[in-house]
A = this chain, B = another copy of it.
Amino acid sequence: MIEAAVLGGIPEVRPGDDLAALLAAAAEPLGGLRPDDVLCVAHKVVSKAEGRVVDLRTVVPGDRAQAWAREWDRDPRQIQVVLDEAAEVVRADRGRLICRTRHGFVCANAGVDRSNAGGEDRAVLLPLDADASARRLRARLGCAVVISDSFGRAWRTGQAEVAIGCAGLAPLEDWRGRSDADGREMSATVIAVADQAAAAADLARAKDAAQPAVRLRGLGRYVLAADGPGAAAAST
């Protein structure tokens, strides 16, 4: 049995806020957090607490950003931020830049997002190192932590939540070489545990309701005694 419970009452997070304290307090009405719980946290509050927010009024777009923004009717300041965050532009697709970030994630707009950014002229960036962010939260909260963002997928409509950081949770379960119910060796099954945990958590919350954290209970078999490899292991 797995149970996903939304943490309520988390206020708008600002740079320098003690996010771990906010999360711990929000978990109290649910009975708190146990060592075998997995707390899934939308990256946006992590980024905000870590100051990874850009005031677009301070951004001076370069030539490339201006040209692109003109062609696709976009905000050139935001395009500049995307280019700054990208290690590589993988594909330019109808005004969207599919980028590889410095972390190695391939996603739209290098993870730069203006929705729920806390103001009209703001953009939220991905955390600098979401695995490290997860480790810090785990150390304070005493449970496994997943930090997530919603990514589009090739060949599927719609976005699914994926883990961009994790600590204390096995991000992958590798069944290669193990046997199926018939005793036949499974040749190519690696289960994206952390991504699926992020997706399960996302179902529990509403995008407009400022519900950035969800406690998953019942995933103890994937919870580690140490931080583990993090979500970087689950990105190619």
Contact = CB atoms under 8 A, between A and B. Distances in A.
A105 to B, nearest CB: 8
Interface residues of A, number: 63
Contacts of A234: 156-158
Interface stretch (A50-58, A131-139, A198-206): A198-206
Contacts of A208: 175, 178-181
Nearest to A90: B155
Interface in A125-166: 150, 153-162
Interface stretch (A17-25, A60-68, A116-124): A116-124
A1 B2 contact: no
Nearest to A158: B192
A14 to B, nearest CB: 14
A158 to B, nearest CB: 3
Interface in A188-235: 188-193, 195-197, 199-200, 202-204, 207-210, 218-219, 233-235
A169 B81 CA distance: 38
A89 interface: no
Given A1-B204, A182-B117, A204-B218, A156 B235 contact: yes
A210 B181 CA distance: 6
A179 B195 CA distance: 26
A156 B192 contact: yes
A198 to B, nearest CB: 9
A106 interface: yes
Interface of A: 1-6, 96, 105-106, 108, 114-120, 150, 153-162, 171-172, 175, 178-182, 184, 186-193, 195-197, 199-200, 202-204, 207-210, 218-219, 233-236
Given A2-B3, A156-B236, A159-B191, 9 more contacts: A2-B4, A105-B155, A116-B181, A116-B182, A157-B234, A158-B195, A181-B208, A193-B203, A199-B199
